[in-house]
Amino acid sequence: MKTLGDFTNSCLHGLCGERNGWSARGFATLCTLLLATTAATDFLQFTARAQQTAQAAPVVVQPGAPGKPSRRLPPSTMGKLPPPSQADMEFMQGMILHHAQAVAMTALIPSHTQNGDLRSLGARISSSQSDEIKFMKRWLAARGEPVPTTPGMRAMDMSHHPMALMPGMLTPEQMEALRKAKDSEFDHQFLTGMIQHHNGALTMVKDLFETPGAGQDAELFDFATDADNTQRAEIRIMQGMLEKKGPEEKQ
Amino acid sequence: MNRMFGVGLRVIAAATISIFGVIRVQGQAQTPAPAPSPSAQEAADEEENRFAPEPPPALPPGMTGSDVNDERARLAPGLYDAGEASMGMKHLALVKKPDAFQLGAADPDDPKVQKMLEQLRISNPAKIPKPMHLVLAQLAFANSDLAFQGNHLFQGNFYGVSIYDISNPANTRLLTSLVCPGGQGDVSVYKNLLFMSVEMPNGRLDCSSKGFPPEPPPPPSEEKDRKRRVPAAQKDRFRGVRIFDISDIRNPKQVAAVQTCRGSHTHTLLVDPNDKENVYIYVSGTSFVRRPEELAGCSGEEPDKDPNTALFRIEVIKVPLAAPQDAKVVSSPRVFMDARTGAMNGLNNGGTHGKKGPEKPKDTNQCHDITVYSAIGLAAGACSGNGILLDIRDPVNPKRVDAVNDPNYSYWHSASFSNDGTKVVFTDEWGGGLGPRCRANDPNKWGADAIFGLADDKLTFMSYYKMPAAQSDTENCVAHNGSLVPVPGRDIEVQAWYQGGISVVDFTDPAHPFEIAYFDRGPIDPKVMVLAGDWSAYWYNGYIYGSEIARGLDVFELTPTQFLTRNEIDAAKTVHTRELNVQNQQRIEWPAKLVVAKAYLDQLSRSQALATDKIAALRKAIQSAESSRMSKGSLADLKRLAHSLQTDHDKATNQADSKRLGALAEILEHPGALIASTKR
């Protein structure tokens, strides 16, 4: 059986906190009133209910830095996100153009070389970078930001295309030279060019995460992390192809 | 563990995108049509299709896809009212995600929802379908992995940790919402300490949700030097492993925050049987390496440029139990080193996969998740481009003893051992967790479990297992986190498959795994892929708990079917653990109870390894022992029957039956005593 002490306790802890917006004193007064006018049976029922409420009330706690006390937050606390960053938007817009050049480079492969390994690598790069371009466009569109139109293959290939170059992008002269090369010379220029191109993407990711306030969006963080890992792996594969190719040419 | 991800975040990202997708399409539909010109038409088409699911690729030749005739293939969509299907599992409860980790509003018109849309920079919410408002606004708060202690369940979230009271599992109650953003919130618990992984740049030492502000734009005179300005180091940023004191479960306090160069995507608690003073944490970082100005010594260079690179390693944190505030990184093992050449990137074969299609190569310069099994002195690491086996008898200096690759694998994601340490189940998180990878045309060898035999520190591939039911193109689905179900005499794992639901698999015969139970819901949305589904599904003291990314926390019980008997379930329920951190695998030992003996009998009956009349005699003897409360006569009968099992034991045609017969005889000889544990 519950005692008066238990009841008051339940009242104070379970129902009278700031959570419900009632002051402790106000509720204590209410409790007293209720006590005075409630039959014993009702009293017990109420007690049970009060205990249940006390048991059920979860707390919201925000710890402090290590060694510092934690803070109790109101139960109405909702999640918050860091402010959006202009650098995030610029990263996505720039990376779309950057990726578009990789796709344009791989588009040259079928007509410029018979190298099976390079063809298969090119198909993979083309496919994954095209997918990522779609992802980046969706990300920007969803946030109401301008979505760069990706120049078509032809435009990318035009040496006079007036486009600002993102880090690692091939210059118009390099693109022109690549377009004119054939077979093993093409293979070599493609691999060195794409390594340069991918290293530029790594620089862009590094710059992004070094920019204050940037990279805190979960999707963008994931995308940039994945792009970084993928391009590192592809650079290693391309370096391996160059090393393998070197001795063959010497023979 | 957990660990999706590269997955975790990816998933979210995908989901968000998809969601936004719908929105965008709707918005476009109401925009006045531009003047019809071919290029404008193309652009409009691109806009229209921007958020629709990609058309599924053709099934590669020689491959088998998922089963379209399974009842799970066509469940109705919905957030809280999706269609459900189950076999051998009873759904006891769904506890919706706590308010602090979502909007807590059921009404799309709630101002809280609109405020979140503003935070997300949704350009024109008025044009978004109302039900999508809610879903959209909940994306930043994905649930992640689970840990257990006594009557408490800890559910990680990208925004903190939810602590539940599970003393009555069907009436699981929230106790504490611990707000501390930074993703993914992978959790472990040991006595009064709670550990949590943080990898994202918005993580702060003080657990604040404000992140870090952009720098004000430079004065016009410096505009042209803008690119080269070196930003201030963010000393308040936190990426690594947090340690909380949970002595007061309703008021956890942060006692330490151990910084690492790549942050902590996942972590693994390791308790060294020979060290009572400390516990250890293996840190798997998969993200970018931060600047040395922010954390001294960090370098993201390739190994040939900087031998101290933070790539190609894991970190080991030592936590002194008497002074957890002194926890620190004590070693950074180069677990991918080539022993012959000394090259630290000795396992770099992520590009050798034969898988066709839009596959991205994965470098082995990181582990995604590590499962330690101290009782056998080994750990299994799922490390991006490879699965590896580590000798962890010296926990600070783990040594690689084997490494495997697989032509059908994309991303080695997580691992678990069989209880006797003779098998390892790896998972492949093909598509990063955010992709629909269980469609009719997705091969059942891709994004699957790979079961390996383990003997003499060598891994040998045995078979694949993939949740068999086809899922829609708006359900992210691939192999994810699971735990053993302690049914004696069998190797059983319960496993999460994101929106593919939960699948319970028997891999006793590692060459022929098969499904014995499942639970699944329909997609959140039929038109766009909204990130959701089970991140982890773990068995803990008689119940299965599922961490649902978008919806909350699910609680289940196993129910008897032709694949699993009541006795087997009851025998599993005899196993009680004080704590469960799935990646710190503990040896399961069964009490010598008669219900365990009955489970073995059911199995021997199923496999026909024991004659029918002998099974009947044994069942009868066990029943009379139970009804007579272990009378002397009944115990003598059990002993006599136990002896008679010796010939059957010798005749057994497979190891599983041989072990069951041995264990059964042992219980019947000494009911009540503990079975001696098997040794490695």
Per-residue model confidence as pLDDT tens digits over A101-122? 999 999 999 999 999 889 988 8
Q: What is the Cα–Cα distance from B433 to B565, expressed in whole angstroms?
A: 33
Same domain, A16 and A94: no
Verify that B638 and B490 share a domain, yes or no: no
Contact (CB<8Å) A55/B173: yes
Using an 8 Å CB-CB cutoff, list chain A residues near B325. 66-67
What confidence score (pLDDT) does residue B525 get?
A: 82
- With a CB cutoff of 8 Å and minimum separation 6, the contacts of B514 are B505, B506, B563
Spacing of C-alpha B666 from chain mean position = 35
Q: Per residue, what are the HEC states of B157-194?
A: ECCEEEEEECCCHHHCEEEEEEECCCCEEEEEEECCEE
CA distance A91 to A85: 10
Interface touch B214/A68, C-beta < 8 Å: no
Cα–Cα distance measured from residue B298 to residue B291, given in angstroms and rounded to the nearest whole number: 6
Question: Nearest CA to CA, how far is B13 from chain A (Å)?
Answer: 4
**A232-241, B450-459, B468-477, B615-624: least confident range:** A232-241
Residues B520, B601 within the same domain: no
| Same domain? B553 vs B662 | no
Distance from B121 to chain A by nearest Cα, in Å?
5
A41-50, B108-117, B223-232, B459-468: range with highest mean pLDDT: B459-468
- Give mean pLDDT, residues B639-668: 94
What is the mean predicted confidence (pLDDT) over A217-234?
87
Highest-pLDDT range among A168-177, A209-218, B34-43: A168-177
Q: In sequence order, what are the residues at sequence separation of 6 or more whose Cβ sits closer than 8 angstroms to the Cβ of residue B301?
A: B309, B311
Give me the pLDDT at residue A138, please: 80
Q: Of chain A residues 66-85, which have a CB less than 8 A from chain B? A: 66-70, 72-73, 75-85
Q: How far is CA B560 from CA A126, B85, B91, B155, B241, in A?
A: 51, 16, 14, 28, 41
Is residue A153 less than 8 Å (CB to CB) from chain B? no
**Minimum Cα–Cα distance from B286: chain A residue:** A225
Residue A78 lies in a domain: no
Q: Are strands B89-96 and B240-245 parallel, antiparallel or unpaired?
A: unpaired
Instruction: Report residue B55 as tokens.
Output: 């058309």
Residue ranges of E strands in B1-120: 84-87, 89-96
How many domains are there within chain A? 2
Distance of alpha carbon B306 from alpha carbon B565, whole angstroms: 58
Residue B201: which of A63, A78, A221 has the nearest Cβ? A221
Chain B: give the shortest CA distance to residue A113, in Å: 21
What is the rounded average pLDDT of the residues B470-480? Answer: 94
pLDDT at B404 over 70: yes
Closest by Cβ to B231, choosing from A56, A210, A234 = A210
B39: number of Cβ within 10 Å? 10
Co-location of B415 and B561 in the same domain: yes
Closest CA to B365 of B335, B341, B390, B392: B335
Q: B668 pLDDT exceeds 90?
A: yes
Let me know if residue B37 belongs to a domain. Answer: no
If we measure between CA atoms, which residue out of B518, B500, B353 comes closest to residue B435? B500
Give the nearest chain B residue to A144 (CA atoms). Answer: B123
For residue A73, list chain B residues with Cβ-Cβ distance below 8 A.
100, 179
pLDDT above 90 covers a percentage of chain B that reads 68
- Looking at the structure, do residues A124 and A229 belong to the same domain, yes or no? yes
Looking at residue B4, what is its pLDDT?
Answer: 36
| Residue B523 and residue B633 in one domain | no
In the structure encoding, which two tokens stand for residue A131, read together? Answer: 């997918």
Of A18, A36, A56, which one is at a domain's C-terminal end?
A56
Label residue B111 by pLDDT band (50, 70, 90).
low
Considering the domain boundaries, does residue B80 fall inside one? no
**In B589-654, alpha helices (H):** 594-607, 612-627, 632-651
For residue B4, tell me if it sits in a domain. Answer: no
- Contact of B348 with B338, CB cutoff 8 Å: no
Which residues of B fall within a CB distance of 8 Å from A127?
357-358
- Are A41 and A97 members of one domain? no
Q: Are residues A96 and A41 in the same domain?
A: no
pLDDT (0 to 100) of residue B121? 59
Say whether both B499 and B606 belong to one domain: no
d(CA A116, CA A110): 10
pLDDT score, position A156: 47
Under an 8 A CB cutoff, do B6 and A222 touch?
A: yes
- Reference A216, options B368, B258, B178, B213; nearest CA is B213
Yes or no: say if B202 and B229 are a contact pair by the CB < 8 Å rule.
no
User: Is the residue at A69 inside a domain?
Assistant: no
Residue A33: give the domain boundaries.
4-56
Task: Find the mean pLDDT for residues B639-666.
Answer: 93
Are residues A13 and A135 both part of a single domain? no
Task: Identify the domain boundary among B556, B580, B604.
Answer: B580
A162 lies in some domain: yes
Q: For residue A153, what pLDDT band results from cuts at 50, 70 and 90?
A: very low
Contact B254 A64 (CB under 8 A): yes
Mark yes or no for CB contact B362/A233 under 8 Å.
yes
Please give, rounded to a whole number of angstroms, the shortest distance from the CA of B150 to a CA of chain A: 18
pLDDT at B18 over 50: no
Residues A44, A91, single domain; the answer is no
The answer to whether the Cβ–Cβ distance between A138 and B21 falls below 8 Å is yes
Any B CB within 8 A of A164 CB: no
Number of domains comprising chain B: 3
**pLDDT digit string, tens, across residues B153-195:** 999 999 999 999 999 999 999 999 999 999 899 999 999 999 9
pLDDT in tens, A164-213: 689 999 999 999 999 999 999 999 999 999 999 999 999 999 999 988 88
Q: How confident is the model at residue B52 (pLDDT cuts 50, 70, 90)?
A: confident
Q: Please indicate, yes or no, if residue B198 is contained in any of the structural domains.
A: yes
Residue B117: its chain A contacts at CB < 8 A? none
pLDDT at B10: 34
Asked if residue B537 belongs to a domain, the reply is yes
Give percent of chain B above pLDDT 70. 82
**Domain encompassing residue B651:** 594-669
Q: Contacts of residue B234 in chain A, CB cutoff 8 Å?
A: 212
Q: Which amino acid is at B420?
A: D
Residue A79 in any domain: the answer is no
DSSP letters along B427-488, please?
EE-GGGGSSB--STTS-TTSS-EEEEEEETTEEEEEEEE---B---TTS-B---EEEE---T
Rounded to the nearest 5 percent, the helix, strand and coil shares of chain A are 70, 5, 30
Pair B133, B166 in one domain? no
Any domain includes B34? no
Quote the ipTM score. Answer: 0.87
Average pLDDT over residues B12-24: 33
Domain boundary among B553, B580, B607: B580
Among the residue ranges B124-138, B246-260, B550-564, the one predicted with the least confidence is: B124-138
pLDDT at B424 over 80: yes
Does the residue A30 lie in any domain? yes
Sign of the alpha-carbon dihedral angle for B140, B145, B149, B152: positive
Give the start-end residues of each E strand in B230-301: 240-245, 253-259, 266-270, 278-284
For the residues B66-88, what does the mean pLDDT come to? Answer: 95
Q: Are the CB atoms for B447 and B512 separated by under 8 Å?
A: no
pLDDT of residue A246: 66
Strands B184-190 and B173-179: unpaired
- The pLDDT of residue B75 is above 90: yes
Same domain flag for B513 and B661: no
**Vertex B167 angle, CA B163 and B173, to 5°:** 45
Tokens of A145: 């930001």
Query: Are the C-beta atoms of B178 and B252 separated by less than 8 Å?
Result: yes
Give the per-residue pLDDT at A24: 39
Residue from the list A66, A79, A230 with its beta carbon closest to the beta carbon of B255: A66
Measured between alpha carbons, how far is B606 from B615 in angstroms, rounded to an integer?
A: 11
Residue B12 lies in a domain: no
Flag whether pLDDT at B563 surpasses 60.
Answer: yes
User: pLDDT-based confidence at B46, cuts 50/70/90?
Assistant: low
Is the same domain home to A28 and A101? no
Sheet-wide strand order for B399-404? B369-373, B378-383, B386-391, B399-404
Residues A109 and A190 in one domain: yes
B286-313 average pLDDT score: 93
Is B14 a member of any domain?
no
On chain B, the residues whose CB falls within 8 A of the CB of A237 are 351, 361
Q: Work out the average pLDDT over B290-296.
A: 92
Q: Are residues A49 and A133 in the same domain?
A: no
Mutate to test the interface with B, among A62, A191, A206 (most CBs of B within 10 A): A62
Confidence band, pLDDT 50/70/90 cuts, at residue A132? confident
In Å, how far is A174's CA from the nearest CA of chain B? Answer: 24
Quick one: which of B613, B508, B618, B604 has its CA closest to B565? B604
Q: Is the pLDDT of residue B238 over 90?
A: yes
Residue contact B121–A84, C-beta within 8 A: yes
Nearest to B501 by CA among B474, B530, B536: B536
pLDDT at B35 over 70: no
The tokens of B584 are what? 């710190």
What is the structure's pLDDT at A6? 33
Residue A77 is predicted with a pLDDT of 86
B contacts of A216 (beta carbons < 8 Å): 200-202, 211-212
Identify whether residues A38 and A99 lie together within a single domain.
no
Is pLDDT at A230 greater than 90 in this prediction?
A: no
Average pLDDT, chain B: 86
Assess contact for A5 and A13: CB atoms under 8 A: no
B133 with B261, same domain: the answer is: no
* A210 and A92, same domain (yes or no): yes
With respect to residue A94, please indicate whether it lies within any of the assigned structural domains.
yes
Spatial separation of the C-alpha atoms in residues B105 and B113, rounded to whole Å: 7
Query: Does residue A7 have a pLDDT over 50?
Result: no
Residue A71 lies in a domain: no
Tokens of A22: 């009632």
Rounded Cα–Cα distance for residues B246 and B339 (Å): 42
pLDDT, residue A218, reads 84
Cβ–Cβ gap B252/A70 under 8 Å? yes
Residues of A in contact with B179 (CB under 8 A): 60-62, 73, 77
Predicted TM-score (pTM) of the model is: 0.85
pLDDT of residue B632: 92
DSSP A65: S
The answer, for A219 touching chain B at a CB cutoff of 8 Å, is yes
- Residue B243 · residue B262 · CB < 8 Å: no
Alpha carbon of B102: minimum distance to chain A alpha carbons (Å): 6
Q: Do A19 and A135 sit in the same domain of this protein?
A: no
| Residue with tokens 């018109």, as numbered in its chain | B109
| Residue B609 pLDDT greater than 70, yes or no | yes
Per the CB < 8 Å rule, is A213 touching B215? yes
- Asked if the Cβ–Cβ distance from B361 to A218 is below 8 Å, we say no
Using alpha carbons, select from A73, A80, A78, A79 the residue that is nearest to residue A59: A73
CB contact under 8 A, A80 and B119: yes
Cα angle value B622/B628/B630 (rounded, 5°): 65
- A212 chain-B contacts, CB cut-off 8 A: 212-215, 231-232, 234
Mean of pLDDT values over B90-105: 84
The pLDDT score that the predictor gives to residue A151 is 61
Q: Is the same domain home to B110 and B143?
A: no
Please report the pLDDT score of residue B5 as a whole number.
33
Q: Which CATH number do you get for residue A154?
A: 1.20.1260.10
Compare B416 and B80 and report the one with higher pLDDT.
B416
Residues B120 and B151 in one domain: no
Which of B212, B218, B216, B219 has the alpha carbon at shortest distance from B233? B212
| Structure confidence at residue A204 (pLDDT) | 95
Query: Is the per-residue pLDDT at A54 higher than 60?
Result: no
Report, as an integer, the average pLDDT of B387-399: 97
**Across the interface, do A142 and B43 touch by the CB < 8 Å criterion?**
no
Q: What's the pLDDT score for residue B472?
A: 95
Q: Read off the pLDDT of residues B510-526 as tens digits, 9 standing for 90 and up.
A: 999 999 999 999 998 88
* Residue A165 within any structural domain of the chain: yes
**What does the angle CA B40 – CA B43 – CA B44 come to, to the nearest 5 degrees?**
85
B243 and B278 both lie in a single domain: yes
As a three-state string, the secondary structure of B531-543 is CCCEEEEEEECCE
Q: Which amino acid is at B533?
A: G
CA distance to partner chain B, nearest, from residue A38 (Å): 31
Tell which residue, B536, B503, B504, B507, has the closest CA to residue B520. B503
The pLDDT value recorded for residue A42 is 47
Using CB atoms and an 8 Å cut-off, which of residues 104-133 of chain A contact chain B?
A: 124, 127-128, 131
